Amino acid sequence: MSQTTTLKKISEALGISISTVSRALKHHPDISIKTRKKVIELAEALEYEPDINAVQLRKGNRQLLGLLAPAANNLFYESFISAVEDSARKAGYAVMILQSDNNLEQETNCLKLFRQNRVSGVLACITPTTTDFAPFRKLEEQNIPVVFYDKVPDDLAYHKVCLADAKAATLAADVILKAGSRHVLAIFGDTHLSITQKRLDAFRESLENGNQQTKLVIKHATNTQEAYALTLNYLKRKTDQADTLFCMSDEILAGSMKAVQESGLRYPKDIRIIGISNGFIPSIFSPEITYVETSGRALGELAVDHIINCIHQAQVPLSLTTDVRLVKGGSI
């Protein structure tokens, strides 16, 4: 096996006890400077690294965060994950990432794995079909706090960090109104998700309150392909064509943009476009798409902050949101 250095080896080499070595390494005042120096030097020479298994068996908790993502290969989650990993490492935590694949059964399995691994806390994102929160509550009962992110339960009893969904939608609606749109095709995501509801409600309300005679057509797509098909279909109309296209997310924007290209319409001339996005998709089109930024990175940082607070000391359930801002492109 690997001949890793342990406290014992150092202590034997130096002819002192294990506890002295341990304390010397942590600058415990009980240990004389002379011994401490000897110990630290040898430890460095031998590249001693404490065995996390042992440390955390003793300490009872492991500096580990569980991150449950719907899928890692997704435009939004990638930046979220990246941010979580960053912030967590800076706080001294490692991250264990598991994917639910939007599958209920696997979600439960993942939670079990988290428990087995004695994570200190869990960041979770529910699947569209999650209705039973018992597995999550079970974690809480075992003192493993859970913070939901992005796709969160409605229930106020849970910790949540969200993008400012309503605000983002309102911001987009404002831009649309200001542009003088009369006929808006708005594509939203899966109806069951609260993120969809929040964005939809705010969007619709803002548009209706704009007291302009704006026709609003709302469609729902659960993935990129559907958004593509749906948008293309609508854009094919010969008369009463939409003058503005709104996409609630990157997944949808990607599909809709493909449809726009195929339709032969030019933007912003023939149709105005605006979306809510993480930023990448809008930037690869020319002109760039105007969007309301919902940063996965910001959300990741917020989530880690919050879960660490919860770990340190139980918090009352809180619902936090990140800021959003309008990024102007040339599409509206």
List of residues contacting its own copies (CB under 8 A): 1-4, 47, 49-54, 56-57, 60-62, 71-74, 78-79, 81-82, 85-86, 89, 94-99, 112-113, 115-118, 138, 142-144, 224, 254-255, 257-259, 261-262, 281, 283-287, 296
Do you find a cis peptide bond into 128, omega within 30 degrees of 0?
no
| Residue number with CB closer to its own copies (3 or 213) | 3
Binding site partner of 18, from DNA, its own copies, none, Cβ cut-off 5-8 A by kind: DNA
Q: Are 23 and 30 in contact (CB under 8 A)?
A: yes
CB of 168 to its own copies, least distance (A): 20
Count of all residues that appear for the chain in the document? 332
The 8-class DSSP code of residue 288 comes to P
Tokens encoding 323:
């800021």
> Residue 73 Cβ, how far from its own copies at the closest point, in Å?
4
Q: How far is CA 255 from CA 46, 249, 293, in A?
A: 56, 10, 18
99 binds, among its own copies, DNA, none (CB under 5 to 8 A by kind): its own copies
- Structure tokens, 94: 């490692």
**Region of 31-39, 94-102, 154-162, 192-200 interacting with DNA (CB under 7 A):** 31-39
Task: Tell which one of 12, 27, 30, 178 touches DNA (CB under 7 A).
Answer: 30
Give residues with Cβ within 8 angstroms of 327, minimum separation 6. 279, 282, 290, 291, 292, 293
Looking at the Cβ atoms of 2 and 211, the one nearer to its own copies is 2
> Which one, 196 or 263, has the nearer CB to its own copies?
263
Rank residues 25 and 232 by Cβ distance to DNA and give the closer one. 25
Contact 302, 310 (CB under 8 A): no
Binding of DNA at residue 57 (CB under 7 A)? yes
The interaxial angle of helices 7-14 and 33-45, nearest 10 deg, is 120
Q: Which of 128, 125, 120 minimizes the C-alpha distance to 144?
A: 120
Task: Note whether 40 binds DNA by CB under 7 A.
Answer: no
Q: Which is nearer to its own copies, 170 or 224 (CB)?
A: 224
Select 15 or 264, whichever has its Cβ closest to DNA. Answer: 15
Distance CA 102, CA 180 (A): 39
User: Cβ 62 to DNA, closest distance in Å?
Assistant: 12
Number of helices (H), then strands (E), in the chain: 13, 12
Cβ at position 141, least distance to its own copies in Å:
8
**Shorter beta-carbon distance to DNA: residue 31 or 311:** 31
Determine, following the binding rule CB under 7 A, whether residue 283 of this chain makes contact with DNA.
no
Q: Should residue 23 be labelled a site residue for DNA when binding is judged by CB under 7 A?
A: yes
If one asks whether residue 51 binds DNA (CB under 7 A), the answer comes out as: yes
Q: Which does 171 bind (CB under 5 to 8 A by kind): its own copies, DNA, none?
A: none
Cα–Cα distance, 164 to 168 (Å, whole number)? 6
168 burial class (0-12, 13-18, 19+ CB within 10 angstroms)? buried
156 binds DNA (CB under 7 A): no
Give the angle subtended at the CA of 294 by the CAs of 148 and 98, to the nearest 5°: 40
Q: Which of 50, 128, 153, 287 binds DNA (CB under 7 A)?
A: 50
Q: Which is nearer to DNA, 118 or 204 (CB)?
A: 118
Instruction: Count the neighbouring beta carbons within 10 Å of the beta carbon of residue 105.
Output: 10
AA letter at 54: A
**Residue 156 DSSP label:** T
Residues contributing to the site for DNA (CB under 7 A): 4, 6-8, 15-20, 22-23, 25-26, 29-36, 48, 50-51, 53-55, 57-60
